[in-house]
Amino acid sequence: MHSLTALELLQVWEQGFSASPVCRAMYLLAIAHPYHSWEALTQLSIGRRDALLLSLREQLFGPAIASVSHCPQCSEPLELNFSVADVRVLEGKAESEETSSLLPPLSSQDSFSLKADDYAVQFRLPNSLDLEAVAGCADLAEAQQLLLEGCVLKAQYQGADCPVAELPQAAVDAIAKAMAEGDPQANVQIALSCPACSHQWSSTFDIVHFVWGELHAWAQRTLVEVHRLALAYGWREADILAMSPQRRQLYLEMVQR
């Protein structure tokens, strides 16, 4: 994985400022993995994509994660402190493996098969292109149907071809379960308990939303630093960003004296 400079981070933040969450995820992966094509990255399954984003987040901001959730029962704020390892489902793979020799097999184009009663289905795992395609759907049911039609490669009933729209709910549920089992990093749930009312619930950890929020906060802080140093010394933005964070901080402290 490519080590990103401050300038590259600001560029990808600016590029994705008004973009959709899916595009933001792809912009981050594209700049962190320049030796892989955009097409290859978009075809990663959602779980494999998120695993790479977790590794990128760890490189940028470290392994510790701090967040805040609110109890759905009483609205009590709950501080969360955990590590990247706590939400990393895929284990035993070094970063160099994930991003090089293992990247092609991580494609959602790999197919899976299952049988549910008299139905036989061949499907692939959802990828970023699928999520972008369903982003404009009016409701969840429409999105689920569109996703199903995009991911089911072949469906048969008693040996004869069957339209995806005619699959019974039992078969649809079996496909959804098989997708979840085949790509567990795509849906990471954190078990939470409210200290105020003892209510217990599960919260989805969305790495795309989380890392983009961190990047946004970092970009705003960094631009303030650039503004102060440029105003004080007349330096160019590129020169200021080329400094290490420690060196920039020392200059900021001198400016504030």
Mean pLDDT of the chain: 91
Question: What is the distance between the alpha carbons of residues 34 and 36, in angstroms, rounded to a whole number?
Answer: 5
Condensed to tens digits (0 to 9), the pLDDT of residues 122-146 reads 999 999 999 999 998 989 999 999 9
Local confidence band at 99 (pLDDT 50, 70, 90 cut-offs): very low
Confirm whether 31 is domain-assigned: no
- Say how many domains are in the chain: 2
Residues 42 and 90 in one domain: yes
In terms of Cβ atoms closer than 10 Å to its own Cβ (0-12, 13-18, 19+), residue 168 is middle
**Cα–Cα distance measured from residue 140 to residue 132, given in angstroms and rounded to the nearest whole number:** 14
Same domain as 229, residue 195:
no
- Residues 186, 73, single domain; the answer is yes
167-221 residue pLDDT tens: 999 999 999 999 999 999 999 999 999 999 999 999 999 999 999 999 999 999 9
Residues 195 and 122 in one domain: yes
Of 39, 87, 110, which Cα lies nearest the Cα of 184?
87
Tell whether 16 is covered by a domain: no
Range of 228's domain? 216-255
